[in-house]
Structure 1
Amino acid sequence: MKASFPSVISMVLVFVAAAPVLFALPPIDKEWKERYIEKNPPPAYKEDAATQKCNVCHEPGGKKAKNEYGKAVGKHLKKADIDALKGNPPAMKKLIQDALEKAESEKNEKGEKFGDIMKNGKLPGSK
């Protein structure tokens, strides 16, 4: 089956449009893991984080909808800022780590600070 020229162009445009979203996530995930997973957390926390993956910050079933924790991080971290620092890994690291630190003091709908939730061995986006 041959693909028509318009369908090939459509596929390329979809990929190009999605590329900035796809490439914005790995630095955040990497820095989150460095901050919260590589510092010897309880084994169950590490396993939960490995299982939940994107759902630490996003609602299950879609990466566009952020959970409460993802929204808290997003208040302090904008995609445009990440994009502007792509050629400067140390500055990007600082930007992301600062946003994660600020999100720790944000509270969920129950009034619990995300930092306290994580210190108690639970993932911040869990309900």
Structure 2
Amino acid sequence: MKKCALLMAVLITASISVPTDVQAVPAFAKAFKARVTDKSKNADFVAAVTAAKCNLCHFATPESKSKKQKNDFGKEIGKHLSKKNYTSTRIREEAAAVSKEFDAAFSKVMAAKNPSGATYQSRVDAGKLPGSVNEK
């Protein structure tokens, strides 16, 4: 009986400590939706963002299903926003400050140029996802 209990404890601990796929920071996704997607009048763009989900900023490779890799848009966001600065507690307690930070960051990101020379805003205006999906 003790062995069974020990085995169960080990299995539970192992299942909890197994790393999972990286997910988009919910606060960043909500900020993008509020500042870009919800303001877009392009139905194709809205549908593409909804379908892309994590692939808006991340991508997986055939060798690895992990979405730790960021596409060019995700890397640009990473230059202006750091996940560690946006805990759920801070977002709740400092909502006005966080909102201003998101406004400033997304203004800079959308004005930045992607590797092909187009701004992210011009891609959005054309109904395309801002970043390249499944590319480095």
Preserved contact between residue 59 and residue 69 of structure 2 (Cα < 8 Å): yes
Q: 1: CA distance between counterparts of 2:125 and 2:40?
A: 12
> What is the CA distance between 1:38 and its match in structure 2?
1.1
Q: Quick check: 99-108 or 43-52, which moved more?
A: 99-108
Q: What amino acid is the match of 2:90?
A: L
Preserved contact between residue 85 and residue 91 of structure 1 (Cα < 8 Å): no
Aligned partner (choices 76, 92, 100) of residue 94 of structure 1: 100
TM-score by length of 2: 0.75
Output aligned runs, 1:64-83, within 5 Å: 64-83=68-87
Alignment gaps of 5+ in structure 1: none
> Structure 1 residues 113, 40: CA separation in 2 closer, same or farther (over 3 Å shift)?
closer
**Deviant stretches of 4+, over 6 Å:** none
RMSD over aligned Cα, in angstroms? Answer: 2.5
Q: What amino acid is the match of 2:131?
A: G
SS at match of 1:85: helix
Preserved contact between residue 107 and residue 113 of structure 1 (Cα < 8 Å): yes
Q: What amino acid is the match of 1:115?
A: Q
Q: How many residues are paired up?
A: 122
Alignment gaps of 5+ in structure 2: none
Q: 2: CA distance between counterparts of 1:31 and 1:70?
A: 14
Q: Quick check: 105-114 or 48-57, which moved more?
A: 105-114
> What is the CA distance between 1:115 and its match in structure 2?
1.6
Q: What amino acid is the match of 2:102?
A: I
**Structure 2 partner of 1:42:** 42
Greater C-alpha Rg: 2
Output aligned runs, 1:44-59, within 5 Å: 44-59=44-59
**Structure 2 partner of 1:108:** 114
Q: What amino acid is the match of 1:85?
A: R
Preserved contact between residue 117 and residue 124 of structure 1 (Cα < 8 Å): yes
TM-score by length of 1: 0.79
Greater relative contact order (Cα < 8 A, sep 6+): 2
Select the structure that is richer in helix. 1
